[in-house]
Chain A
Amino acid sequence: MRQLSRHVLLFLSVCTCTGTLYAQDSAGIAVHGFVSQGFLFSSSNNYLTMESSAGSLQWTDGAVNISDSLGDNLHVGIQLHMYQLGELGGSNIMVDWASGDYRVNDHFGIRAGKVKTVWGLFNDSQDIDAVFLWILLPQGSYPIDHKSFYLAHVGGDVYGALSLGKRAGTLHYDGYAGQATIDLNDGYIKQFADIGLVFTNSLGGKTYGGDLQWETPVKGVTIGSSGNAQAIDGTAPTGSVHLPPTFTPSMYAKFSRGKFYLAAEYDREPINAILTIESAVIPFVVDGRSWFAMGSYRLSKKLQAGSYYSHYVNKAADTTQPANYSKDWVLSGRYDFNSYFYAKIEGHFLHGTALGYYSSTNPNGLTPNSNMLAAKIGFTF
């Protein structure tokens, strides 16, 4: 009850404070923000470090950004973000992104600072609840408990668009290089701690990659491919982790026209890391293959409904074991009260335990299947 009051109070206070802002725009300076409060109930198992089997409200997100255009070509801004997801996140305020963006022309631009990482359909926008129908994105591709690691890099991007002519559409590109860091409140840190590797300093490594997106001449159809290489090194008092640069490809397509939205994506994450715990050297090998297909329809101005299927399997292990796969059927609905307030509800029919479960929050083990009900209310301006 105390926890419920805290979350509701936090949500209301942010709404009250920001309600008077309404995307302030003064002399070119723009202020935007969002806040959301979630609820998760699972029929069995505790999901995403929440006590979801008893119903949990430990799911709050909030961000505020300020930006300004300094002339026609230069745009600067910063976004601060705070999230609580079960035992992850917490009250720490993080810099979500902080960048300067110089667009020479429509064909070439440079973005530098802490920059959102473009990968697949949703990586850079996965924490912006307000723009999605879904409460949880397909977890095989966009694991919410690791979002703080995948979301951004410190470095630079080059980007632009090339027109291929009236009959061939437009090609959008983005290439980047920099450093990505796993902060101490991320799910990976908790997973390491669960096996005895307790990190007291952030870990991370170099990252580079790119995205190529073809806006086809067929109205509403976009096809794309991304690749990301990521290395990780970190030392804890009890051991270390080493991941050599690992390439993670993604291929995707989407169709968006009128009230319809369809999308599909295939990703692969081959991991070959070395964990050292005390004197033991443990190879950590995963060949993650994930794909999803989703569709939604806008029933009215305020109501949207949709469904997706998300599939994840670790091909490097026994794929018949629930610990090595995760298959999720999802039904979602969203109601927009107005331009600022919305509510969502979502049902998950989850088979397998490969994603989102932690041994420390499931001390009695896991059952292979779990149904879940998620709900969210949010405010954005």
Chain B
Amino acid sequence: MSKTRFLILLLASLGSWSAARAQDVVLVANKGVQISEITYTDLRAIFMGTRTRFADGSHAVPVTLKGGPVHEVFLKNHVGEGPEEFRSEWRKVVFTGQGAMPKAFDSESALIEYVAATPGAVGYVSRISSQDGVKVLAAVK
């Protein structure tokens, strides 16, 4: 058995999810969210505020981290924006009265806690454990 396969099995046995690639993130959603995968287009639209619902029509509540490498990786890989551009776009929305900025968290644990407790919430973290009470969403093209 190769070291890699052993490592994968070990992580699975610990009941933990982690990013598929070192430079990616895990998408998490409230357990009440019915979908299990989300397109990159929908994800970008939800996090940029141009869409407020998932593909099944249920209400989406995007949440973010305030900053850091996980935040930057998520924005780059899934939203296609830098953190400065993302912040600027949302400020435009807020100061023109067209919406409210996504709730932002200092830590991944606080984000997970909020996602677990908030219907429709969707966010991202570097890794989760099976005890976190959230579901994982797969991003698809």
Contacts and interface: CB of A to CB of B under 8 A. Distances in A.
A195 interface: no
Contacts of B52: 72, 103, 105-106
Interface stretch (B9-17, B99-107, B126-134): B99-107
A313 interface: no
Interface stretch (A123-131, A141-149, A197-205, A353-361): A123-131
Interface string B79-120: 010111101110110111111110100000000000000001
Contacts of B94: 30, 32, 65, 67
A67 B84 contact: no
A301 B95 CA distance: 23
Interface string A101-134: 1010110000100011000000011001011000
Interface of B: 41, 45, 50-53, 57, 59, 67, 80, 82-85, 87-89, 91-92, 94-101, 103, 120
A244 B95 CA distance: 31
Interface of A: 23, 25, 30, 32, 34, 63, 65, 67, 69, 72, 75, 77, 79, 97-99, 101, 103, 105-106, 111, 115-116, 124-125, 128, 130-131, 161, 166, 170, 172, 215, 219-220, 256-259, 298, 301, 304, 336, 339, 380
A298 B84 contact: yes
Contacts of B59: 72
**Minimum-distance CB pairs A-B, first 8:** A97-B97, A128-B95, A72-B59, A116-B96, A131-B88, A124-B96, A125-B92, A131-B92
Contact of A79 (B88, B91, B97, B101): B97
Nearest to B58: A72
Contact of B95 (A34, A105, A256, A339): A34
B92 A106 contact: no
Contact of A259 (B82, B91, B100): B82
B50 A128 contact: no
B51 to A, nearest CB: 5
Contacts of A106: 50-53
Nearest to A28: B100
Contacts of A105: 52-53, 57
Given A105-B53, A161-B50, A219 B96 contact: no
B100 to A, nearest CB: 6
Task: Identify which of A34, A63, A131 gathers the most chain B CB atoms within 10 Å of its CB.
Answer: A131
25 contacts: A32-B91, A32-B101, A65-B94, A65-B97, A67-B97, A69-B100, A79-B95, A79-B97, A97-B97, A99-B97, A116-B97, A116-B98, A124-B96, A125-B92, A128-B91, A128-B95, A130-B88, A130-B91, A130-B95, A166-B41, A170-B45, A258-B82, A298-B85, A301-B82, A339-B67
B84 A301 contact: yes
Given A97-B97, A101-B97, A380 B85 contact: no
Contacts of A124: 96
Contact of A131 (B95, B100, B101): B95
Nearest to A29: B100
Nearest to A172: B50
A304 B83 CA distance: 13
Contacts of B89: 131
Contact of B50 (A23, A79, A97, A170): A170
A339 B97 CA distance: 21
B42 to A, nearest CB: 9
B101 A30 contact: yes
B66 to A, nearest CB: 8
Task: Identify which of A63, A99, A106, A304 gathers the most chain B CB atoms within 10 Å of its CB.
Answer: A106
Nearest to A77: B97
B53 A65 contact: no
Given A256-B85, A259-B82, 15 more contacts: A65-B94, A65-B95, A67-B94, A72-B59, A72-B120, A115-B97, A116-B97, A125-B92, A128-B95, A128-B96, A131-B92, A161-B51, A215-B50, A220-B80, A258-B82
